Amino acid sequence: MEQALLTIRDLQVTLPTANGPLHAVRGVDLTVNRGEMLCIVGESGCGKSMTSMALMGLLPKKARCEASTMTFDGHDLLSTPKSGIRGLRMSMIFQEPMTSLNPSLKLGDQLCEGIIAHKRISKAEARERAIYLLQRTGVPHAEERLNQYPHQLSGGLRQRVMIAMALMCSPDLIIADEPTTALDVTIQAQILRLIRELQQEFGTAVIFITHDLGVVARIADRVAVMYAGQVVESGGVTEIFRSPHHPYTQGLLSCIPVPGKTGPEGKLATINGVVPSLIGEMQGCAFANRCSRRSASCDSVTPSLIESGPQHWVRCPLHQTTLWKEAS
């Protein structure tokens, strides 16, 4: 049986606005096992990044974070002060390295700062580890790079530096928040391959946040599909792609061209409508206004995440009603 490293149950993140409370994350359940790659996928504004910020303790000051369970390696993240969270073996790779790296500090100082503070090692030892990880992440002339500033590197090299920085303290969990979005396709492929190789080499668990299902298919062990602040479907990557249960997941997959099936003149499917406002309370299924299979139960039944198969969960009123009928 796999050992859970991170367990989240009923995570709620609420932000105050002039029009009322915005429920950015609404009852998210997630489990990350040691050494696995969990991809969180969904369109912009669905709560992916806000969930990761809640884990790292980086939410805005006025945000309210609640959960019935949020533990990492046996530590309760809700009761642990920020000073304690900094000591946990978690790190994060942000979306845009140029805004994540300090432009006024040399790369060597930024790479070594964390490990010196957390592991109480000498500057020489920290420097040696920085050089090793820069070399391991494919940064040429690694020792020379320590004396350079972020603006002197290309986007791809800056992202490799961010990956090396995330590995400096040998974390048990890395959260990668769309780390390839700002890169061109060729560099993106290299970074994805690098993250997967390093994850397997160091045995680190990774939460990889993306909106690209092509990326998910290449690197994920398990997938969590988010919509309107909720996880609407989760399971193994093969099961999700072969047999998606939620209409939103089905819609996302139908938007992807399939080699050998989608011809030059073929049209890709689209998901009509827009994401509902997350301000105020919401009744029924959040996806109902965009679902082609909508029924009366979609407006009246607020679905919960239920197991629809072995290690496969779905949040859908229609699917839930079907399971109830089969059980009776």
The alpha carbon of 12 is separated from its chain's Cα centroid by a whole number of angstroms, namely 16
Say what the pLDDT of residue 320 is: 66
Residue 137 CB-density burial (10 A; 0-12 exposed, 13-18 middle, 19+ buried): buried
For the chain, how far is it from start to end, CA to CA, in angstroms?
Answer: 31
Domains along the sequence of the chain with CATH: 4-89+171-254+267-326 (3.40.50.300), 90-170 (no CATH)
Distance of alpha carbon 69 from alpha carbon 10, whole angstroms: 7
Contacts of 259 (CB under 8 A, 6+ apart): none
- For residue 239, pLDDT over 90 is answered with yes
Whether residue 9 is predicted with pLDDT greater than 70 in this model: the reply is yes
Pairing label, strands 20-33, 4-17: antiparallel
Residue 323 has pLDDT above 50, yes or no: no
pLDDT in tens, 77-131: 888 777 777 778 889 998 887 888 999 999 999 999 989 988 888 999 999 999 9
Confidence (pLDDT) at 94: 86
* pTM (2 d.p.): 0.90
pLDDT score, position 327: 38
Q: Is the pLDDT of residue 308 over 90?
A: no
Instruction: Give pLDDT tens digits for 157-187.
Output: 998 999 999 999 989 999 999 888 777 888 8
Identify the band that residue 145 occupies on the pLDDT scale cut at 50, 70 and 90: very high
With a cut of 70, say whether residue 35 has pLDDT above it. yes
Which pLDDT does position 294 carry in this prediction?
A: 85
Give the side-chain half-sphere CA count within 13 A for 96. 5
| pLDDT tens digits for range 240-283 | 999 999 999 999 998 887 776 676 777 778 888 888 899 988 88
pLDDT bucket at 232, cuts 50 / 70 / 90: very high
